[in-house]
Every structure is written in C-alpha cells, then in structure tokens.
A = this chain, B = another copy of it.
Amino acid sequence: MLIKLFILSLACYIGESKNRNVLLIIADDAGFETEVYNNSVVHTPNLRALAQRSLVFSNAFTSVSSCSPSRSAILTGLPQHQNGMYGLHQGVHHFNSFDGVQSLPLLLGEANIHTGKSQSDLFIFELSNTHKNYFYVIFFSLIATGIIGKKHVGPGSVYPFDYAYTEENNSVLQVGRNITRIKLLVRKFFKTHKDEAFERRQKKEENKGDRDSIKDEERPFFLYVAFHDTHRCGHSQPQYGAFCEKFGNGEMGMGRIPDWTPEYYKPEQVKVPPFVPDTPTARADLAAQYTTVSRLDQGIGLVLQELRDAGYENDTLVIYSSDNGIPFPNGRTNLYHSGIAEPMLVSSPENRERWGDTSQAFVSLLDITPTILDWFSIPYPSYSLPGSPTDPVHLTGRSLLPALVKEPSSRHTVYGSQSLHEVTMYYPIRSVHQGAYHLLHNLHYRMPFPIDQDLYVSPTFQDLLNRTRLSQPTHWFKSLQQYYYRERWELYDTRSDPLETRNLASDPSLSAVLESLRQSLQKWQWETGDPWVCGPDYVLEAKLEPHCRPLYNGL
C-alpha cells in the first residue's frame, strides 16, 4: 500500500514535470566581452543567438568575486559565509561547504516534493517479477543531474552529480576548454539519459500491471556545463599562453580542437573596460582573452546544438552566466561593480514574451538556485546550518521566472559577501547595492588588499607594478596605493560615478542613505548567519540570542 502510494505520487510528480529540464552554462572569469553586451569588436554569434531567445539581464551580480565561493553560492543559493565555502577549494586552501548544506544537485537528486517524505523515502520502489517476495529497489534520483567542466566545490557528498566529467576525474583543459570533448560529453549525457528511459520502459512492459502508472519514462534533467574559458592559465600552463588562447589552436605543440575556429584580435582593436589600464600590455592581454571568448562562444553553440539535436530545446530552461569579474585589476576578488557585474541570459521556451528584451532588475547569482527549484516546482529547502543552528536556512535569493513575463517593479537590491580567495588572502568585505548606491564594508581595511597569484603573474598586473615602480604613467584610473589601502566604508553613487572613484561615505548629505544601507546590510548578515556580522569592532556572542558586544570601547 505504501509502495503504491509512492508510485502514484511519483507518477503525478513526473507527470507534472515532464519535459522540463535545465541547462546551466557558467563561464569562468568571463565578463561583458560579448556582442550581447554591446561589445562590437568580439565576435560571439552563438551568445547573440541565445540572447535572442533570452531575457538579458543588465544588472546581474555575483555575491562573491571568487571562483569556489561563487560556484558554491550558485549551486546552493547561499552566500559563501552561510554555506561555509569561504575561499578556494583546491590545494592548500581546501575550503568546503558545510556537510549539512542542501545544494541544487542534492535537492534535485533526492527531490520527492509531492509526498514530503524524509530522505530515506526518496527512492523509487518497483515490484520485480523475478523476486516475488522482495521489493526491487532502484536507487536513482528523480531528476538526472550532470556536470561537465570545472566543479571546484566540495565536499563531494554535498555536490553529488549522477554524471560527472570534471577536474576531479579529468584534465580541466579537456573537460573545460576542449569544446569538441565537451560537445561529445553533452551528447553522451543525453544518450545515457535516453537509454536509461528506454531500459525503464522495457522493464515496465515486462511488468504489465504497472504499465500506466508512470506516464513517461524519461526523467527531467539538470545539466551544468562549466566552461574553463575565459580563465587565465599563464600561471598554471604558461605554454598555452596567458589565457590558454593557444590550447588546441592547431599550431605546433598546441594540439587541435576540431570544432574550434580560433579568432584572433589585434591589441589596438580591443575595447578596454574602463577599470583596466589602457596600455599595450593590457590590450595584448585582452586580445588573448578575446580569442578564448571565441572558444567559449563556439562551445556554447555546440552545446546548444546538442540540446536541439536531442530534442530538448523546447523543454529546457537555459541559463548563462559567469562566476566572478574578469581577472584584471579591480575585477575578480573585488566587490566593486567591476568585480561583481555578470552577464546573465535566461532562456525559457515557455516564456517567449520577453525574448530579446533587456531587464534592468537587480538580480544575483544567489537567484539561480531559487529559479531552478521554481522551474521544477520544488519547494525551497528548510534546514539548519552551523552559522544559525537554531534558525532554519531560508534562501534570500528569488526566482527569476516572473521576470521572464513582466519586468519586476521592486528588484533593486543585491548583497555581496567575500571572505577569502586564497587562504592567505583574508580580506572580508560585505556590500549592498541598492538602486544608485553601492556600499562596501572592508572589515580588514587596515591591511592592504591582497593580490592573488594568478593575477600577480599576469602581464597586465606586472606592467602596472613596473610602471608604478618606475613612476611611469599607468593609464589606470587609480593608483596601486589606493587599490591596496581602502577606506573601511566605501559608498558610491554608481549612476553619476559608475567607476566608483569618489567615496561618499563621509558626505554628510548622504548620512541617512549610508545608515539605511548599513542597516539593510546588517539585517541580511544576521538573516544569513554571517560569522563576520560583528566584525571588526565587536565580538559575536553566539549564546542563546546571538548579539554583538563591543571590543574596543574607550580605545
């Protein structure tokens, strides 16, 4: 009886959700170097075509400008300080999310949304003809989950994918930049997916009694394709160029990616973002990055073609974004606009009203998990985490699906939270971006802002260091001294000052704005169980009612 109830509820579930899949494409360190965002130089026909079937967000932001923390936030809907991934996952850094975190692949894999049963009930039970006295238990998840490319989060138990080709079992260049390999892995994912449904149908037809109880054998899927482009690689694989722009380009010793037609740009052609020094060195760096944009764009084209060929185009929500700002000064590892603004395309075959439109709504990568759960009609999870052991976690992001129908009127606030990148790069920042105003709180403002190894060795940064050392013009909008030593509070009017050059935190006419933003930020920190909520002047007393107690009174 109980088993029948399961089958019935699962049938209902699969019935409702059939033909609803998700393809999430995340680029690595990619910015606005695409035709979609009016870069007229770089050639990205595939992203342009996707944009024509998407709502294009022009105010999308990551909550954290660092790879592993951002990917953990994308896959959990929780900021880094709440999910525990305070910095990079690999090597000596070895940050991880808390064991109890319920990530997207975990929630989708175990989703048993309509029965509301505990996790031990989350599997499909089938009666087997060959073992009449036993239930034959098939352990497979209700929504098939796959990852191809850069994973960079852990522990494995928190981020379980059914199908995984990542740096954990492959070369990251092969699964993250070799777009032919990626194409074939996507193809294999779809084939495996269909084969499994076919096998299940065959099994069901042997077992006639249950023939009509499951309407469709094919499970929904969530496929996460995480390109490694346009990340730098001069630090780890210098033989392929600063951005691995030579990897697979067909030149001697570079190998050849059959599906990639590299596109080359001259340094004088590139459009230098206003926050990057406009020097020949930076232009050469950007030109190399553009070449990798061509690989990313053509890779996206291949993945979308596989989706079409497999017949899923009209069933699949496609989301494209990136993890953090571009790896240039003032970009990645910063919570300035230039470090957190992200490309974001959301393409729903069910909502074509706004295809090709641009939304001004403020959205966050923290919205990706709620959006995908919403798409699958899965309720948001409620559970406890170490930061707030007595309070259940609730997702502070929101589904983007309503925006696909109608421009939202009330979305104008996003939050940021960064703690570390490399383990030696402790520089906690919390921020709130509300309408025109962007407030940043640099908790360790007395120490210089840290520079990551990958950026440090880049031609652009080395050139900036050398020019500074030699007192030559840097062609940068700030000095390294300003970049290293920041005010504790930074307040910018991003409409009149998009580059965030004039700190208005001590402007008396904005004291009410400042205070209101500080309160919003503090409220969000409490809501999300931020261990840094009392820093740097107060000590968190975590007992019973957590509160901040003053540390430096009288000093």
Contacts and interface: CB of A to CB of B under 8 A. Distances in A.
Contacts of A92: 84, 386-387, 529, 531
A235 interface: yes
A553 interface: yes
Interface in A431-475: 444, 446-448, 451, 453, 456-457, 465, 468-471
A451 to B, nearest CB: 6
Q: Could you say how many copies of this chain the assembly holds?
A: 2
B555 A481 contact: yes
Contact of A447 (B86, B236, B446): B446
B540 A453 contact: yes
Contacts of A539: 451, 453, 456
A98 interface: yes
Contacts of A98: 94
B94 A94 contact: no
A449 to B, nearest CB: 10
Given A451-B551, A542-B453, A555-B468, A424 B532 contact: yes
A86 B423 contact: yes
A480 interface: yes
A536 B448 contact: yes
A536 B543 CA distance: 35
A235 B549 CA distance: 14
A91 interface: yes
A553 B480 CA distance: 10
B549 A456 contact: yes
Contacts of A136: none
Nearest to A96: B94
Interface in A214-238: 235-236, 238
A329 to B, nearest CB: 13
Nearest to A468: B554
Interface in A248-305: none
A484 interface: yes
B457 A552 contact: no
A460 to B, nearest CB: 15
A350 interface: no
A397 to B, nearest CB: 21
A541 B481 CA distance: 22
A456 B543 contact: no
Contact of A235 (B386, B387, B543): B543
A32 interface: no
Contacts of A543: 235-236, 238, 457
Contacts of A532: 424
A426 interface: yes
B555 A484 contact: yes
A448 B552 contact: yes
A535 interface: yes
Nearest to A534: B424
A469 B553 contact: yes
A555 B444 contact: no
Contact of A424 (B389, B423, B535, B541): B535
Interface in A488-547: 529, 531-532, 535-536, 539-543
Contacts of A469: 553-554
Given A424-B531, A426-B426, A446-B446, A456 B542 contact: no
**Closest 10 CB pairs between A and B?**
A469-B554, A446-B446, A426-B426, A456-B539, A91-B386, A92-B531, A92-B386, A446-B447, A469-B553, A92-B387
18 contacts: A84-B92, A91-B389, A92-B386, A92-B387, A96-B96, A424-B532, A424-B535, A426-B444, A448-B536, A451-B539, A453-B539, A453-B540, A453-B541, A456-B541, A456-B551, A457-B543, A468-B553, A469-B553
Given A94-B96, A456-B539, A457-B549, 15 more contacts: A91-B386, A94-B98, A424-B428, A424-B531, A426-B444, A444-B444, A444-B447, A448-B552, A451-B539, A451-B551, A456-B541, A468-B553, A469-B554, A470-B554, A480-B555
